[in-house]
Structure 1
Amino acid sequence: MRVYGVVGWKNAGKTGLMERLVAEISARGFSVSTIKHAHHSFDVDHPGKDSHRHRQAGATEVLLSSGTRWALMHELRGHEEPPLELLLSKLAPVDLILVEGYKRDDHPKVEAFRAETGNSLIAPGDPTIRAVAADTALEVEGRPVFDLNATARIADFILREVGL
């Protein structure tokens, strides 16, 4: 399975870069899935809906299905957050899985960086970060630096890295 990540501090441009990369790589004919890590509690369900009522009643998993899509919600109910490797195994096979977040995991990554956030670069101390996409001119020893909005060039780099 080909996996490539997009990491960076809050407001660094990760989600926008992910969105552009999915569109670019999909337009080239490759199938792409994504995993997004959230550092906070989130809910994709709505109170009062049948699926929410099932979860509130204690269901560990609730699968919603329609003629358009299906979604599986899994409640941890106090258990540890599953590792990325387990989550990856739950996805159907595709050409590439792009992962937003999970900066401490071992898969290769590109770091999104915006100078205005005032954060330091992660890349210098992390060999899994293979390139940086920044909104300002930077030099990172041994790694290419792309303009944050150079989506096609970043996609070219990622696709070469994963052998597509």
Structure 2
Amino acid sequence: MNKRLEKKPLFYAVSGVKNSGKTTLITKLLPVLTGRGLKVATIKHDGHDFQTDVPGTDTFAHFQAGAYGTVVFSDHKFMVVKKQPEEAQAEQMTPEQLASWFPEADLILLEGFKDSGYPKMELIRGANSSDCVCRGHNLRAVVTDLAPGAVKGLPEGVPVFGLEDVESIAEFILKDLFPLSGNTKEII
């Protein structure tokens, strides 16, 4: 295994305001990153209480009847839904805790987490905002449909990529995470 992957998984956040295109960028990055030999998982923070089940499903009936957790599985995948105990609800789960579900992952892309300390790139779409909202040394790049000079509050030295420049964005992430690797075309 590549020495730089001994501390697994690595985290990289794709951040930005609501409807900036985070999910779209992640779904475009995934085939590029996995095509280079990485096992990639994703973690998305939902500020609302997401619903995985809908009325009429068996697991919905299980929760309605009082189950605090349920697992749905097939031969190829599984999904765990577990309610947080009330005393733990004030404490948000961390990506490190959630990463325990992905022990094989080399990289976990975090969707959101704009105020976190993880290395991140921020998406800025002119239709929503022209302001850079991520601050600090962990903002590694900006992805936008705006001209670099049109991004307000862009820290000096932070590179800017176009929304469709997925190959270059993936290459940048890999060079950021694996700075000593001469060949980021295939990390493992």
Q: Same fold (TM over 0.5)?
A: yes
1:34 match: 42
Taking the aligned partners of 2:16 and 2:57, their CA distance within structure 1 comes to: 35
Taking the aligned partners of 1:119 and 1:38, their CA distance within structure 2 comes to: 23
**Partner amino acid, structure 1, of 2:41:** S
Taking the aligned partners of 2:25 and 2:17, their CA distance within structure 1 comes to: 13
Taking the aligned partners of 1:113 and 1:129, their CA distance within structure 2 comes to: 13
Q: Deviation per CA, 1:98-122: give whole Å up to 9, x if none.
A: 0101112211001011012135111
**Partner amino acid, structure 1, of 2:145:** D
* Matched length: 163
Q: 2:160 aligns with which of 126, 129, 145?
A: 145
Residue 90 of structure 1, CA deviation = 2.8
The RMSD of aligned alpha carbons is 1.6
Q: 2:67 aligns with which of 59, 78, 81?
A: 59
Moved over 4 A (4+): none
Q: 2:131 aligns with which of 120, 142, 159?
A: 120
**Percent of pairs with identical residues:** 36
Unaligned runs of 5+ in 2: 1-8, 179-186
**Partner amino acid, structure 2, of 1:152:** E
Q: Given that residues 113 and 148 in structure 1 are in contact (C-alpha distance below 8 angstroms), is that contact kept between their aligned partners in structure 2?
A: no
Taking the aligned partners of 2:127 and 2:56, their CA distance within structure 1 comes to: 41
2:12 maps to 1:4 = yes
Residue 126 of structure 1, CA deviation = 2.9
SS in 2 for 1:117: coil
**Partner amino acid, structure 2, of 1:23:** P
Taking the aligned partners of 1:12 and 1:49, their CA distance within structure 2 comes to: 32
Q: Deviation per CA, 1:106-143: give whole Å up to 9, x if none.
A: 110010110121351114x3322110011111153121
Taking the aligned partners of 2:95 and 2:66, their CA distance within structure 1 comes to: 25
- Work out which of the two has the higher radius of gyration on C-alpha atoms and give 1 or 2: 2
1:129 match: 139
Per the normalisation by structure 1, the TM-score is 0.91
**Partner amino acid, structure 2, of 1:36:** K
**Partner amino acid, structure 2, of 1:106:** G
Residue 16 of structure 1, CA deviation = 0.6
SS in 1 for 2:141: strand
